[in-house]
């Protein structure tokens, strides 16, 4: 049973560019959440997708957008990249129940130059 997978593992971009990160949830999971983890910090919630809609959003600008596909996989898009967007981007999947437990993927390391 595959866990949460993310691609790519590493990415280097320059300021102003756009990036797309991908996530495949754990088998049986229908909800995907995205987190940003800056160096030396705890993960910060970006948004969550359920039934192909953004269910909840954290304090991130509109440059951060996402999508969920019918097979529950998800993409995170970041436009107009800033140096400060350099971070580890973590995807977590879960099954929508009152006692939801999120399982994390290995992350995508993004470096913005």
Partner 1 sequence: AQSVTQPDIHITVSEGASLELRCNYSYGATPYLFWYVQSPGQGLQLLLKYFSGDTLVQGIKGFEAEFKRSQSSFNLRKPSVHWSDAAEYFCAVGAAHAGGTSYGKLTFGQGTILTVHP
Question: Residue 22 interacts with partner 1 (CB under 8 A)?
Answer: no
34 versus 81: smaller Cβ distance to partner 1: 34
> Read out DSSP for the chain?
----EEE-SEEEE-TT--EEEEEEPPTT--EEEEEEE-TTS--EEEEEEETTEEEEE-S--TTEEEEE-TTS-EEEEE-S--GGG-EEEEEEEE--SSS---EE---EEEEE-
Question: Residue 55 interacts with partner 1 (CB under 8 A)?
Answer: yes
Question: Residue 107 interacts with partner 1 (CB under 8 A)?
Answer: yes
**Cβ of residue 106: shortest distance to partner 1, in angstroms?**
4
17 versus 41: smaller Cβ distance to partner 1: 41
- Per CB under 8 A, the segment of 12-20, 37-45, 61-69, 75-83 that binds partner 1 is 37-45
Applying CB under 8 A, among 14, 27, 41, 79 the residue interacting with partner 1 is 41
């Amino acid at each position: 049973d595959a866990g949460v997978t993310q691609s790519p593992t590493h990415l280097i971009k320059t300021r102003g560019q756009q990036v797309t990160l991908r996530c495949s949830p754990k088998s049986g999971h229908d909800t995907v959440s995205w987190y940003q983890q800056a160096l030396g910090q705890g993960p910060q919630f970006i948004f969550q997708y359920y039934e192909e809609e953004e269910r909840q959003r954290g304090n991130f600008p509109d440059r951060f957008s996402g999508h969920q596909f019918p097979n529950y996989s998800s993409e995170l898009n970041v436009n107009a990249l800033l140096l400060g967007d350099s971070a580890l981007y973590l995807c977590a999947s879960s099954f929508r129940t009152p006692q939801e437990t999120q399982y994390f993927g290995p992350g995508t390391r993004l470096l913005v130059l």
